[in-house]
Amino acid sequence: MVIAQPLRRRLGSVTVVSLLFAVLALVLGPVPSSAAQSNWWEPSARPAPDSQIGVTGEPFRGTDAQGRVRGFVDAHDHIMSNEGFGGRLICGKPYSEQGVADALKDCPEHYPDGSLAVFDMITKGGDGRHDPVGWPTFKDWPAHDSLTHQQNYYAWIERAWRGGQRVLVNDLVTNGVICSVYFFKDRGCDEMDAIRLEAKKTYAMQDYIDKMYGGPGKGFFRIVTSSAQARQVVEQGKLAVVLGVETSEPFGCKQILDVAQCGKEDIDKGLDELKELGVSSMFLCHKFDNALCGVRYDSGALGTAINVGQFLSTGTFWKTETCRGPQHDNPIGNAAAPQAEKQLPQGVDVPSYASDAQCNTRGLTDLGAYAVRGMMQRGMMLELDHMSVKAAGQAFDILESESYPGVISSHSWMDLGWTERLYKLGGFAAQYMGASEGFIKEAERTRALREKYRVGYGYGT
């Protein structure tokens, strides 16, 4: 895919679309001389044994004849999710100094047959049983429908890069409630502690890859914090890695019985810390309503399980109303989730919901609006996915008032009715990764809009 388009807007001295998708958007200059090294794409050392790459030849670098950078984007990934949720929910690591055998092994409690893979039972259905051996047999994992096993080993990311990927968003992720109710953990459940650790581990992974390629700065995996850095990395033919945050209670901004547990000082302090960590994009809410915004629901049994988590976190279940416009949130449904519902206090049941009331009553709070403006002031990108349509609409109003294009829908969770509004601002949309036929069909549906606004397309794994 061609991922370069003319940049349309700036805010002061900062390229607002900056950090991530300006890579997709600017006419680039000549390749820096520092990149012109012999066989720069081949590591000088790789652990043995290790997962093989199976790709040969020099990765494309520089620009095409029209001066455009080329490549594709994964706008939503969770490389370090194994460090969140108490450290034992996701099995396997994206790298290990001890090698692949240590990195790609199952959680101890999954032996001998996966009977205690409780999260798999909740999210995937079935009894969780699987062959717990990862490397070298990979009989049952990684698997596309398992949410509990590592799928981001560094060598597999390298394979994607060699195949043409040039931008990767690593969303630092966790959930304090899931951590607290999950049986197994080896650390605390504070969400910001997990975000800090995942950021640290991402930089450590960059260092690990650098060592294979001959030293600091020489690896293909490059964390970027500005559009200038990102452009330079992609010109060199390497992978520009953007840090994002996707969590339900950022900066401790949860609500309990509709009372916010944070204030403006917490938001400012939190945003400043994230910038210091190198974070460039962020979700204001994820799975649970918080003090900043209401969420776009999950559906089916998973939605019921998350609604249980919403109650455990906030003391209230999701509340719905008839939608006020053509956009709507996902239907909640009334499917049972027995494993999750066991966590509720005695006498408390998940409510039923009317089929004609699909919108969250909660939108963007005053604190949420303050956070949106704070992100704009810091040149950060706002992720709209997971916001209720009411919250997303209010966020659009703020962004449009400043002609601020730093807005993203990275994995198909935004109501499709907002797509042109997003493109008109200068934002970027990516589709949730799925089977090729469905992916292409959806890409075709939005082709005319992308051509109208001269914008590229990506996916979110």
Last residue of a domain, one of 116, 149, 182: 149
Interstrand relation of 279-283 and 239-247 (parallel, antiparallel or unpaired): parallel
Is residue 125 one of the residues assigned to a domain? yes
Is residue 90 one of the residues assigned to a domain? no
Closest alpha carbon to 460 in 386, 405, 402:
386
The domain containing residue 340 runs over which residues?
A: 300-360
356 shares its domain with 369: no
408 shares its domain with 421: yes
141 shares its domain with 185: no
Output the pLDDT for position 72: 93
Is residue 6 one of the residues assigned to a domain? no
128 shares its domain with 213: no
CB 411 within 8 Å of CB 244? no
Is residue 50 one of the residues assigned to a domain? no
Interstrand relation of 165-174 and 239-247 (parallel, antiparallel or unpaired): parallel
Residue with tokens 């720069």: 40
28 shares its domain with 173: yes
CB 293 within 8 Å of CB 384? no
307 shares its domain with 186: no
Rounded CA-CA distance 232/145 in Å is 36
332 shares its domain with 436: no
Is residue 266 one of the residues assigned to a domain? yes
367 shares its domain with 232: yes
Residue 242 pairs in a beta bridge with 169
Is residue 123 one of the residues assigned to a domain? yes
The number of domains in the chain is: 3
Is residue 86 one of the residues assigned to a domain? no
Output the pLDDT for position 38: 56
CB 263 within 8 Å of CB 253? no
118 shares its domain with 231: no
| Residue type for position 256 | I
Output the pLDDT for position 407: 97
Q: Report the CATH number at residue 263.
A: 3.20.20.140
Rounded CA-CA distance 433/24 in Å is 19
Is residue 432 one of the residues assigned to a domain? yes
Give the other-Cβ count within 10 Å of 449's Cβ.
15
Last residue of a domain, one of 125, 149, 173: 149
CB 135 within 8 Å of CB 82? no
Last residue of a domain, one of 149, 173, 205: 149
323 shares its domain with 180: no
**Does the N-terminal peptide bond of residue 142 adopt cis geometry, omega within 30 degrees of 0?**
yes
Angle at 180 between CA 98 and CA 335, to 5 degrees: 110
138 shares its domain with 188: no
Per-residue pLDDT of the chain (461 residues; tens, 9 = 90+): 333 333 333 333 333 333 333 333 332 333 333 334 458 899 999 999 999 998 888 999 988 888 888 899 999 999 999 999 999 999 999 999 999 999 999 999 999 998 888 888 877 777 888 999 999 999 999 988 888 899 999 999 999 999 999 999 999 999 998 899 888 999 999 999 999 999 999 999 999 999 999 999 999 999 999 888 988 999 999 999 999 999 999 999 999 999 999 999 999 999 999 999 999 999 999 999 999 999 999 998 889 989 999 999 999 999 999 999 999 999 887 898 888 899 999 999 999 998 888 899 999 999 999 999 999 999 999 999 999 999 999 999 999 999 999 999 999 999 999 999 999 999 999 999 888 999 999 899 899 999 999 999 999 99
145 shares its domain with 277: no
